[in-house]
Every structure is written in structure tokens, then in C-alpha cells.
Amino acid sequence: MAIAAESLAAKLPAHFMLGVATAAFQIEGAVAEDGRGPSGWDAFTHLPGRIVDGTDADIACDHYHRMPEDVELIHALGADSYRFSLSWPRIQPDGRGPVNRKGVDFYDRLLDRLLERGISPMCTIYHWDTPLPLEQEGGWLNRETAYRLAEFAALAADAFGDRVDRWVTINEPATVTLNGYALGLHAPGVPHLFDSLPAAHHLLLGHGLSVEALRTASVRGEVGITNVYSPVVPATEGFGNELMVQLYDILFNGMFADPVLLGSYPRFNPLLTPFLAYFHTVPEEDIALMHQPLDFYGLNYYFPSRIAPGPGPLTGPHAKPEGVPEQFVQDVQDMPFHLTGWPGYERTGFGWPVAPQYLGVALTEMARRYPGMPPVYITEGGASFTDVVVEDALTGEPEVADVKRTEYLADHINAALEATAPGGPAEAIDLRGYYVWTLMDNFEWAAGYSQRFGLVYVDFATQRRIPKASYKWLQQLASHRDRARARL
Ligand code: PNW
């Protein structure tokens, strides 16, 4: 049973933001309309065998045409804030050079509508849709892309800086590096394993340069980054496993958070040098650029990781989607560690363990590793489960009783509040909000439409939107909170 909305509402600190999040490529569709250029993800989805269900994002949720209706859903939900991303190839089709006015117009209309409805905009500048010309020049393996991103950030600041409350420079550079460049399960789709570390470095450089661009433009909003975080635990006892835990923790967490928050790459056991020697070769000035003062830090949490030494079957978050050519499996078999299952834990549609207590662990580890860090927003959290649409016996209206998703959200918000409450193990963290991933079912990257994360069900054949029980639960949470606020 999920904690009741009313009792959870009573725990929410004043000014805590309840939000919903999306990303442009996953919802917009209209990929060849009004001057939008192709992205690396458009190209990747059209390669044979890369998307589990053989789909693409050409139409997705058709949000480009249905934006007003979708903003009404956010408004009726009672959300305080909406996190969305800018489509870089819609605004700057070649990744350099002039802006596409019609692309800018779309986000102008979105921002105006959000503000009219009293919804605070959080804008992600880069959520993975690199313009194809830049991807063809090496994408994030090419240092040049960092400078191109900063130029795009300057364009965004100029166009939208008067209306955006919070800017996220980059979403999850870890997933871009690991799923994209290391494993090839995401765009651009060629596995480089440990030779992908320059992609991480250039993403972080792109973050730092983008922060500079936003500051130079004197945007009125706050500035931050979003990193995913997964507490890492060993599957077995012994030094070999501890070493692999350290390696995975660096690859997934430390190499993205440390330069941003501490101004250095993680220190590591010299036995890991064969994998991480790249960090000894990077210019000091780059790391200083990555280490910009931030107004907030965005944290995405989905699941903890259990690591065993040696190559192994592809389980866990990096499991090979069905249909991916065998050559990629071979490459991953060369890895010195693998992710193991979580016996005894409920799992989501992706096979990710449902472990709300580990969100508390994540926040506790962050508090210890990064003393004095800026205020934190959990910029994503959510789960995919199989959803079944049934007709209500009385009204005939379609309904989705997504009990597990509702519990997931309630338990995770509760765990985050408890960990960061006074006296809690992560009390040093100033937690300011939680954004549910995601507003509506959408194009779930390599999983296509096979994984539904939405608060709103989307029937992709008709584009009908059906609010699920989790939507109604969040609506209650927001309204109980509002009533409690009004009494003060
Ligand atoms: C995040 N992993 O991606 C993204 O920010 C969203 O766009 C995405 O839809 C959502 O989470 C759900 O997948 C992740 O393998 C993808 O560890 C992969 C991982 C983590 C997050």
C-alpha cells in the first residue's frame, strides 16, 4: 500500500517543488517539420535492429502539435514545475550557425503558456539529441562539440533567458557516455568501451562552458546540471569485488559529479590505472572550467547497482535490448565487471530493482562526498510497468490502475524526505523538489514504446491521453499540500 497522499503532503517542506519531466526527442515527433534538422538519435533509430520494438520517434507523442493539451494536463495535475528539454536540431539544425526561427517560436509558445498557468519552467539545454552534422564529426568524442553546445546555450539564453526559472545544462552525461559511446546501446551506437572516457570529459567541458555562456548572458534563472546517481554495492565478498565496485562507482557516479562539485576527477586504486589512465592526461584548465559555482544540483535516481567481478551475462540497466547485433554482446563480455540481479526485490519493466531506501543511501552518500553542495532537486524518478487500460463499469471511461507506479513514487518521495529531514542521515542536503519521470508514456530510447513510464497513458494509435491512477494520486498530493499551505 502506498503512503496516503494526505500524510505524505504533511511531510513536504514549504516551497518543495512537485514537478513532472520530459525530453524533446521522446515526445515531440514532427522531426522534419518547420525546419528541424536530423539528430544523431534520428539516424540511430533508423538503423536496423537498434530499437527493441523496431520503432522510431518520428511521431512519438506528437507533442509538437498537441503542446497546449499537454500543458493543460500538467496544469490540471497541480504540478508546480515542468522540466522539458530544447531540441537542439529544431533550434539550430546544423549544430552551428543561424537559428531556425520556427523552432524558437515553439518554445516561446510553450514558455508563455506555462507562465500563464503558473507553472515554473525548468529547461534542459541538452537531453541527448545532438544535431546529426556534429555527431558525424565525432559527437562527444570530438572536443569541438563542447564549444558548439556552449554556443547553443548562448542562443537559448538569448531567446528564453527572460522566462526560464531553472536551467539544466546537460541531462545525465553518464548515460550518454556509457550507453551511447561505451556500449553502443544508445546513439551514436558504436561501442568504444573504456576509449569512451573522452566523451565524458567533453560533456563535462560542454557543461562548464555552457554555465559560462548562461552567466555571460545574465539569465535570470538558476543554473545547474543533472547527473544520475546509483549507489554501488558488491555482489560477493573480497578485494577483487571491492575494486570493481570502485571502478563502477567512478564510471557511473564519481567521474561526473566530482569534477563539477569538487573540481577534480576521482582518485583511484593504482590497480585501476589500465582503465582510468585517461584522467591523468587531461588539462588542468579543463577541470577548472567544469567546476563552476552552481545554483542547484539535479539528481536523477532510478535504482542501485550490484556489481560482480569478471564478465558476465548482461543483466541490469545495461542489458542488451533484444535485436541488438551479437557483436555488441561480445564487446561487453570484455568488461572486467558485470551487473547482477537483486534477489528479493520487486523489479520494474526494465528489470530495475525497486529500492526506495537506496534513494536515501544515494542522498546520504552525496552529503558525505560533497559537503557544502548546492540545493538539490531530484530532477527524475519513476518506473516502467505494464499498464492495462480497462473501461470503468459505471462510466465506460478508460482507466489505468497503475498501483505499482503509484507506490514507487510515494515510497521514493517519502524516502527522500526522510533522509533529508532534520536528524536524517542526509540532513546536510537542502532538498528542494522531486520531478516525476515522466508526464506521459513516450519514446523510451532503445526500448522504443515497450516501456511506459508515464503518469498519463498514451494510446499511440490515436494519441489519446488517459491519466493513470498515479496521476490522480499526485494530483491529490499537490492539492492536500496546497490546502495545508493555505491554512498557514
Ligand atoms: C533517464 N541506466 O535515462 C533519462 O534521463 C530519460 O530520458 C529516460 O527516459 C529515463 O531515465 C528512463 O530510462 C536513463 O541504464 C537511461 O542506468 C539509462 C539508465 C539510467 C537512466
Residue with cell 577541470: 287
Ligand 1: nearest atom to the Cα of 445: 9
- Strands 431-437 and 297-300, bridge-based pairing: unpaired
Whether 180 is in the pocket of ligand 1, judged by its Cβ within 6 Å, is no
pLDDT band at 310, cuts 50/70/90? Answer: confident
Ligand 1: nearest atom to the Cα of 444: 9
| Residue 319 pLDDT greater than 90, yes or no | no
pLDDT band at 300, cuts 50/70/90? Answer: very high
Burial call 189-224: b when 16+ CB within 10 Å, e when fewer: bebbbbebbbbbbbbbbbbbbbbbbbeeeebebbbb
Whether 23 is in the pocket of ligand 1, judged by its Cβ within 6 Å, is yes
pTM: 0.97
Whether 228 is in the pocket of ligand 1, judged by its Cβ within 6 Å, is yes
CB under 8 Å to 291, separation ≥6 — which residues? Answer: 208, 259, 260, 261, 262, 263
Burial call 70-109: b when 16+ CB within 10 Å, e when fewer: bbebbbebbbbbbbbbbbbbbbbbebeeebbeebbebbee
CB under 8 Å to 313, separation ≥6 — which residues? Answer: 338
Residue bearing the CA closest to ligand 1, atom 20: 175
pLDDT band at 2, cuts 50/70/90? Answer: confident
Whether 353 is in the pocket of ligand 1, judged by its Cβ within 6 Å, is no
pLDDT for 333? 65
pLDDT band at 311, cuts 50/70/90? Answer: confident
pLDDT digits (tens, 9 = 90+) for 198-207: 999 999 999 9
Residue bearing the CA closest to ligand 1, atom 18: 175
Chain CA centroid to CA 363, Å: 17
Whether 172 is in the pocket of ligand 1, judged by its Cβ within 6 Å, is yes
Which grid coordinates belong to 65?
502539435
Domains of the chain, start order: 5-487 (3.20.20.80)
Q: What is the largest CA-CA distance in the chain?
A: 68
Strands of the sheet containing 337-339, edge to edge, are 232-234, 305-309, 337-339
> How far is residue 448's CA from residue 445's CA, in Å, rounded to a whole number?
6
Which grid coordinates belong to 209?
562552458
Which ipTM score applies to this complex? 0.97
CA–centroid distance, residue 443 to ligand 1 (Å) = 12
Helix axis angle for 197-216 and 144-160, nearest 10°, is 30
CA–centroid distance, residue 395 to ligand 1 (Å) = 36
| Residue 314 pLDDT greater than 80, yes or no | no
Which grid coordinates belong to 99?
537559428
Query: Rounded mean pLDDT of the chain?
Result: 95
| Residue 288 pLDDT greater than 80, yes or no | yes
Averaged over 443-447, what is the pLDDT?
Answer: 97
